[in-house]
Structure 1
Amino acid sequence: MSSRRARASRLTEDELNNLIFKLHASLPHHSNSTSNKKTSAAKILKRTCNYIKKLQKEVDDLSDGLSQALASGDINAADADTITTFLQL
Structure 2
Amino acid sequence: NEQRQATRYVLTITTNIEFRQVKDGKVLWSNPSLQFRDEYDVSTSVQATDAAAFLGQDLNALERLATELARSIVSAILEAF
Q: What is the TM-score normalised by the length of structure 1?
A: 0.42
**Bigger Rg over Cα:** 1
Higher-helix-fraction structure: 1
Higher relative strand content: 2
Relative contact order higher in (CA < 8 Å, ≥ 6 apart): 2
